[in-house]
Amino acid sequence: MKNRNLSMIKTFIFVMIAVCFFANGVLHVSAASEVTGVTQTRSDEESVTVSWKRLKNAYGYDVFISTGNGKYKRLTNKTCDVVGSKNTKKKISNLTSSRTYYVVVKAVYKKENGKYKIGPAGKRLEVVTSPSKTAKSTIKQIKATPHYIRFKWDKVRGANRYIVYVNDKKKAVVKKNAVSIRVRTGSVNNVRVVPVKRSSSGFMAKGGNIEAYDFYSSPKRPKRVAAFRYNNLLWQPTESNTVTIGWTKAAGDKYDPTGYQMEVYSLEGRRLNLYYSTKTKLSINIPSVENKGFKVRVRAYVKINGKKYFGKWTDMQTVIPQAKISMKRTGRNSVEINWESVKNVTKYHVYACNDIKAEKPEWYEVATVGAGTNSYEYNNCIEGKYTAMYVIPEVQVGRNTYKASYTWHLYMNIE
């Protein structure tokens, strides 16, 4: 009886051990998990690389790919596409450029009996190949403003995004094949566009660069318009009604503007004429401004593909003519000047110099006379010297008061 009980105990232990081994195999398989963290890490025109999170109890991994028709194909016919639980990436080759594919990764488990068990499929991943680097595309500037450049390019097959770089700095990612980018006024810019196939997970499969150079923003405002001290104004009414107006190119411009546009207005604000010039000086003759004056402003432009793109206008500058004087000797030490009335005048400032031929001539305001006065006699001439004189009108238009700039004078030898 004792031996029988011992035999039964041994049999029970053997059965339990067998059950444990069997259960271990079953549990090993039943512990199969989905592969998670599947992401695309690289791409080129003919391949993609995907990676995933490691499953410690996996023997390896099988990788499946589909073109989107619902049919998945394993990458290899081997027992396991990727052997080793730590090997968590795979390059998939022989694909077509700028295409979308779908990838599923399954874990492979090896049972104690040597057989293999495939785990459940995790979430599918959309992957994309890069657009062809040989795709032909050109960039063309289509607009310029003082603060923006706008350009477009040919669409690249399969690309659904474009990364835009200006002067080697990333500026935008756009869906369309045109963009406006903020730049410095008066700047010259280099542009690079990278066509991209973007997946639903956000991976950017980049194609080849499309490059262009010398894209211009509109020029800055010119400076010193009609400023006599910078040799930008000449108006001698005694000779003619022709006025030469100049200006200075903005120092910050990185290129020479194609040309300039100048507007001339009456003192009351009515536009009289519009001029174009490729130089920084322009001579005009408008009968209605004689003995009266005018206002003027200037802006620069750059021509791109035959079209002008303008910068901002300068402030309006007011130009009043000096009085048109004549000069005659009236005595041993005296001369008399006479002048024509200037419109809107309120007073005249009379200036004299006793030695205009001196190395540094000295000018003095010798009188201020009212609007009804058109002559003045100067009695402090020096014999043997050249006396020079000019008259500056002061005018009022509305609430504004303006004075002429000194640009010329008359002189006489006091022999």
CATH code for the structural domain at 228-319 = 2.60.40.10
- pLDDT, position 112: 85
In angstroms, the CA 220 to CA 146 distance is: 7
Domain boundaries along the sequence of the chain: 1-30, 31-128, 141-216, 228-319, 325-413
Superfamily of domain 31-128: Immunoglobulins (2.60.40.10)
CATH code for the structural domain at 141-216 = 2.60.40.10
Q: pLDDT exceeding 70 applies to what percent of the chain?
A: 93
- pLDDT, position 75: 93
Under the banding of pLDDT at 50, 70 and 90, the label for residue 293 is very high
Residue 311: half-sphere exposure toward Cβ, Cα within 13 Å: 32
Under the banding of pLDDT at 50, 70 and 90, the label for residue 27 is very low
Q: In this model, does residue 238 exceed pLDDT 70?
A: yes
The answer to whether 141-216 and 325-413 have equal CATH topology is yes
In angstroms, the CA 303 to CA 280 distance is: 16
pLDDT digits (tens, 9 = 90+) for 116-169: 999 999 899 999 999 998 777 899 999 999 999 999 999 999 999 999 999 999
In angstroms, the CA 390 to CA 387 distance is: 11
Q: Which of 229, 244, 253, 304 is nearest to 279 (CA)?
A: 244
**What mean pLDDT, rounded, does the chain reach?**
92
Average pLDDT over residues 248-274: 96
Average pLDDT over residues 249-271: 96
Under the banding of pLDDT at 50, 70 and 90, the label for residue 20 is very low
Residues 6 or more apart whose CB falls under 8 angstroms from that of 237 comprise: 290, 291, 321, 322, 323, 324, 340
Q: In this model, does residue 22 exceed pLDDT 50?
A: no
In angstroms, the CA 232 to CA 235 distance is: 10
- pLDDT, position 31: 59
Q: pLDDT exceeding 90 applies to what percent of the chain?
A: 86
**Whether 31 contacts 120, CB under 8 Å:** no
Under the banding of pLDDT at 50, 70 and 90, the label for residue 25 is very low
Q: In this model, does residue 375 exceed pLDDT 80?
A: yes
Under the banding of pLDDT at 50, 70 and 90, the label for residue 69 is confident
Confirm or reject CATH 1.10.132.20 for domain 325-413, answering yes or no.
no
